[in-house]
Amino acid sequence: MNWHSMTAEEVLSKLDSNHEGISSKQAKERLSQQGPNQLESPTKPSPLRIFIGKFKDYMVLVLIFAAIISFIAGETTNAYVILGIVVLVAIIGFVQ
């Protein structure tokens, strides 16, 4: 249905309405048939999901990869520092 090319009268006819609107009886019938005219509120993500989502950022993934490479190369101090920074960034992002 192309609403853009229809006249106002055609739209009102399709919606079974008129320029004054619908009657109380029609409103009650439509409410019982179609339910209330409300948007569903989006579900809030859990705090754990928000925290884990902070590790999906490109730069965070690069830092995690750098920490893995540091572990493999035997540079455990560097790896722990990098991982500490990653966790700190995730905590700050989560709190914000």
> Domain check: are 55 and 91 in the same one?
yes
Q: Which of 57, 40, 39 is nearest to 94 (CA)?
A: 57
Residue 61 lies in a domain: yes
**What is the distance between the alpha carbons of residues 63 and 69, in angstroms, rounded to a whole number?**
10
State which residues form the domain around 22. Answer: 3-34
Report angle CA 30, 40, 32 to the nearest 5 degrees: 15
Residue 27 lies in a domain: yes
> Domain check: are 59 and 85 in the same one?
yes
Instruction: Provide the number of structural domains found in the chain.
Output: 2
What's the pTM value of the predicted model, to 2 decimals?
A: 0.53
pLDDT of residue 78: 93
**What is the distance between the alpha carbons of residues 68 and 82, in angstroms, rounded to a whole number?**
10
Higher pLDDT, 1 or 21: 21
Tens of pLDDT, residue by residue over 64-92, are 999 999 999 999 999 999 999 999 988 99
pLDDT of residue 1: 61
Tens of pLDDT, residue by residue over 9-35, are 888 888 878 888 888 888 898 889 888
pLDDT of residue 35: 86
